Homo-oligomer: A and B are copies of this chain.
């Protein structure tokens, strides 16, 4: 069995999909949480100076979506063929686009610019993505792809608390199919065990 380490800050955010997947697959991992104070010294040792970083048998890799896809292959959360994998990849990238569109406004440092961009984000972008993603989840019976549990669901469920924090709203409150996606992931007993035992953090 490969030796896994997840390097990230002491938050859920982009590290949590990796932690959910490893927990679900009963793949033991070291959950390395780096403090903001220690980060500047450690930063150059991480690929692209980024976190999260997954270490597999001593080799470090960045890019959380790519790492999720890799872990998923090992634990039957990937597709059964190239076409199925395309369906999963497409919706995972769509969730990631949604995250980026929220993040770019949320992290805008100029208050005046941010206020202006928040109008478009809240009135157009967020409703558009929620409606489309909820439709996809309804068509797939409470999953984001293939009508069954895949790593795309883990990506969404893993980052939802972080997305809600960035967007300052409960994004699944009025989208029951997306809520089902989250519930289908966090309802898995190994994920539930992880949630019950993980360090408590707000985001």
A70 to B93, CA, bound (A): 14
A100-B100, A113-B110 known; A82-B93 Cβ under 8 A:
no
Question: A76 at interface (Cβ–Cβ under 8 A)?
Answer: no
Shortest Cβ distance from A133 into B: residue? B48
Question: A167 at interface (Cβ–Cβ under 8 A)?
Answer: no
Q: Please give the distance in Å from A57's CB to the nearest CB on chain B.
A: 9
From B74, B110, B113, give the contact of A82 (CB < 8 A): B74
Shortest Cβ distance from A81 into B: residue? B73
A70 to B84, CA, bound (A): 10
Copy total for this chain: 2
- Tell me how many residues of A have a C-beta within 8 Å of chain B: 28
A73 to B89, CA, bound (A): 14
A89-B69, A113-B110 known; A48-B94 Cβ under 8 A:
yes
Cβ B73 vs Cβ A61 within 8 A: no
Given the complex, which residues of B lie within 8 Å of A100, measured CB to CB?
Answer: 100
Given the complex, which residues of B lie within 8 Å of A34, measured CB to CB?
Answer: none
Question: A67 at interface (Cβ–Cβ under 8 A)?
Answer: yes
Report which residue of A65, A83, A116 has the largest number of chain B beta carbons within 10 angstroms of its beta carbon.
Answer: A83
A82-B70, A82-B74 known; A62-B48 Cβ under 8 A:
no
Shortest Cβ distance from A69 into B: residue? B89
Residues 27-70 of A, flagged 1 when their CB comes within 8 A of B and 0 if not, give 00000000000000000000110000000100001110111011
In the A-B complex, the 4 residue pairs with the closest CB atoms: A66-B89, A70-B86, A63-B93, A63-B90
10 A-B contacts, Cβ less than 8 Å apart?
A48-B94, A48-B132, A61-B87, A62-B90, A65-B89, A69-B89, A70-B85, A70-B86, A104-B104, A113-B113
